[in-house]
Structure 1
Amino acid sequence: MLLPAMAGLLQGGAATTHWRLSGFFHKHFPQIRLDTKRMVVESHGIVSAGAAMAQMDLMLYLIRKQIGRELADLVMSYLLIDTRTTQARYQVWEHLDVPDDETARSFEALIEASLPDILSVRQAARQLHMTEKTLARRLFKASGVTPMTLIHSVRMRHARRLLELDELTLDEVAQRVGYANATSLRKLTMRMAQVAPAAFRSSATGTRSRG
């Protein structure tokens, strides 16, 4: 999507790209409504696709739109492709957007060290010797997201690791990342990855069995 974006063809429109590039897009093309949770987005007559298999998602979208779902499903079955409408569950939570920034790294380190008793943004700002407003501005410039989103990403990262280990109950995992119970944990994973906590356990089990 870089060329259409640089050419100004998506000004005021929507698009998607690989989730790892979202920070770059937010910084350089703020007028574009970027939605990296979706695999395919059509806006202003331009169709964009995200993820490493973007060409496959784009091909299936065009077949479905121009010819019909039946043929698209047949092509999927021949190519052994599953339906994928969102990138969210594939995102790597070790790094959100643009992590190569001193303020962002220091902020995430503070949050990680405070688990399960999460620091407030104000407390973190005080420890980093800056105002809350300055911290928020620097984090947004580096990552394109708010301090609370970064806090949620740290929690999500640790929750995912614990879930993949499959050694703790959902309530125990929730408590390890600063939540009261499994219901709160489910709200986190649904918001950040659009899947229930159990999906990370089943995904890790499948990977181990294939290995």
Structure 2
Amino acid sequence: MLRTVSVVLIDDVAPFEFGVVCEVFGIDRTADGVPPFDFRVCGEHPGEPLRTDVGVRFTPEHGLDALEDADLVAVPAAKIRDEYPVKVLDALRAAADRGATLLSVCSGAYLLGAAGLLDGRDATMHWHHAAEFAARFPLARVDPDVLFVDDGNIITSAGTAAGIDACLHLVRRELGAVVATIIARRMVVPPQREGGQRQFIEMPIPPDAESLQPLLTWMLDTIAVEHPVAELARRAALSERTFARRFLAETGTTPHRWLSAQRVLHARRLLEQTQLSIDEIAQRCGFGGAALLRHHFHRSAGVTPTDYRRTFACDSTDA
């Protein structure tokens, strides 16, 4: 269970990336139905100000001993350097060894790499630093294209907005889609971006073109219906080739992958909030049958629909 969150700060920390972690885990949203987090801001020298890259200072209240029982250790971005504080790296290793989840935002992954925690692991990095990061940590399997990578107890994310996606993904993974949606709604950000989407898009909306947002909304409203690409292209009044390019430009993924991800998210909500059978949920989400739902659900969530319901259902029922 995700209860205790410790954030590790070092000199030249990036305020926005630190703020992302604070916004998701550090604000009391219990009145909205979000479970309380024991949120700790930690540093090697508690009570001593740390500089940032924008001319202000942060003063951690806790020392590195506050990592010792944390469920989540978050590492925001900081200025990339040749060497990192030895005691901080030791504390990260100890947290990983005892089974804590570690989450980095952007260049915070450099600390995980310097601690040897990414050796043999899947990871990502902001596209601007990805090649240098991969060269510096050759034992890490770096995917430079995706928003974030969930490799079990280690989650790495690309740029600033991808850090929001990674944090909300972890909330959804540990506490369910309802809690993640509540937090996302308060932050006024979409709760549904999946890690496999591309992190760098040259033109979010092509010039002289209308957005596909009305079409995306219609697809969600008719999520139980099959949506062949040819039909979607006709509805958008575009050739199939132009439609595919524009869809990728606006969503960072393909129509099939986008719709599959939305269907899984809808299935999560139904599993949490209803007592519908797995077959009924599969039909309502557009998967046709339980077998296909189980395939996509397990690939996305890492568990079966029945196990997910057992963990996150408001009124726990077996399906």
Same fold (TM over 0.5): yes
* 1:129 and 2:243 are equivalent in the alignment: no
Larger radius of gyration: 2
Retained in 2: the 8 A contact 1:89–1:193? yes
Q: Which has the higher helix share?
A: 1
TM-score (norm 2): 0.39
Retained in 1: the 8 A contact 2:127–2:144? no
**1:87 Cα offset (Å):** 8.1
What percentage of residue pairs aligned between the two structures are identical?
A: 25
- Which fold has the larger relative contact order, with Cα–Cα distance below 8 Å and residues 6 or more apart in sequence? 1
TM-score (norm 1): 0.56
- Equivalent in the alignment of 1:32: 144
Tell me, what secondary structure is at the counterpart of 2:131? coil
**1:36 Cα offset (Å):** 2.1
Partner Cα distance (1:189, 1:183) in 2 = 10
Tell me, what secondary structure is at the counterpart of 1:36? strand
Q: Give the 5 Å matches for 1:15-54.
A: 32-34=144-146, 35-38=148-151, 40=154, 51-52=166-167
- Equivalent in the alignment of 2:289: 181
Q: Which has the higher strand share?
A: 2
- What is the aligned counterpart of 1:168 among 276, 288, 297? 276
Render the CA deviation track for 1:169-196: whole Å, top value 9, x for unaligned: 1011111122232111101101222221
**1:134 Cα offset (Å):** 1.9
**1:51 Cα offset (Å):** 4.2
Render the CA deviation track for 1:6-39: whole Å, top value 9, x for unaligned: 795421766xxxxxxxxxxxxxxxx815452325
Retained in 2: the 8 A contact 1:116–1:178? yes
| Structure 2 residues without counterparts, runs of 5 or longer | 1-104, 111-124, 135-142, 157-162, 181-189, 198-203
- Equivalent in the alignment of 1:11: 131
Give the counterpart letter for 1:37 in structure 2.
Answer: D
**1:104 Cα offset (Å):** 4.7
Partner Cα distance (2:132, 2:248) in 1 = 20
Retained in 2: the 8 A contact 1:108–1:150? no
| Structure 1 residues without counterparts, runs of 5 or longer | 15-30, 43-48, 54-85
| Structure 2 CA distance for partners of 1:6 and 1:94, relative to 1, 3 Å | closer
- Equivalent in the alignment of 1:108: 216
